Amino acid sequence: MNPLLDEVTKKWTERSSIRAFKPDPVPRATLVEMFASAQRAPSWCNVQPWHVYVTEPPFTAQLADEMIAAAKSGLPHSEVPFPMEYPTPYKERRIGCGSALYTAMGIARDDKAGRYDAWLRNYGFFDAPHLAVVSCDRRLGPYLYIDVGVWLGYVMTAAAALGIDNCPMASVAAYPEPLRTRLGIPDTDVILFGIALGLADPAAPANRCRTTREPVEANVTFASAPVSAP
């Protein structure tokens, strides 16, 4: 038993991605506190490659309108390719994730319009008062995206401690133009993902979605002897 680890694990067990927010903004000082904690994230040669653009009301809703229009009118085209296929066991996990969300929202499997509306809500950032758009200097190459992923984990840890609800959002990266133009993200940066930030609407069905995790053996292999002879 380790009290600090127990505390962290409890926080992680309690958290979930939030897909319906109250309109109340998070005070800027609290957001700065969260990002300041995440600045301690380690990175390759300490280059700290994450660039973060945080929207505040009323601009968040204006950007959301543009993103919804972009999502309605064009095919997704993220700058970093999204997965094209999900071989087993990822396929089953992905289906489980979608099914948990649609069940929570009361959307039937064959309800195409309901699923489309739920998908489109990504581009309204689930009504969050803030969207953090995260980019990385493309001249560093894709390996450094790992650093940004590590940083995201730190942000989410700090958010859990501060009670800031959130949803990481790959979806917004699929329509990068409004983000790049309106936020002034330079062409030297690649847009990686967004993070919707705010306070959860506790009454929203989408926020009842809970996902499962595999047992540790599914992901972690210990090796005390070589698998093949040296």
Ligand X SMILES: Cc1cc2nc3c(=O)[nH]c(=O)nc-3n(C[C@H](O)[C@H](O)[C@H](O)COP(=O)(O)O)c2cc1C
Contact positions vs ligand X (CB under 6 A): 16-17, 19, 97, 122, 167-171, 193, 211
Q: Are 168 and 19 a contacting pair, CB within 8 Å?
A: no
Tell me which H or E stretch contains 192: strand 189-198
Q: Name which of 13 and 73 has its Cβ closer to ligand X.
A: 13
Q: Name which of 31 and 128 has its Cβ closer to ligand X.
A: 128
Residue in the shown chain whose Cβ atom is closest to ligand X:
171
Minimum distance of ligand X from residue 222's CB (angstroms): 25
Q: How many CB atoms lie within 10 A of CB 61?
A: 15
**Rounded CA separation 8/34 (Å):** 16
How deeply is 169 buried, as exposed, middle or buried, from its count of CB atoms within 10 A (0-12, 13-18, 19+)?
Answer: buried
Minimum distance of ligand X from residue 159's CB (angstroms): 12
Minimum distance of ligand X from residue 226's CB (angstroms): 34
Minimum distance of ligand X from residue 228's CB (angstroms): 34
Q: Name which of 61 and 120 has its Cβ closer to ligand X.
A: 120
State both tokens at 167: 């949803």
Minimum distance of ligand X from residue 229's CB (angstroms): 39
Q: Is the peptide bond before 89 cis (omega within 30 degrees of 0)?
A: yes
Contacts for 72 with CB less than 8 Å, ≥ 6 apart:
120
Q: Name which of 31 and 131 has its Cβ closer to ligand X.
A: 131
DSSP state of 225: S
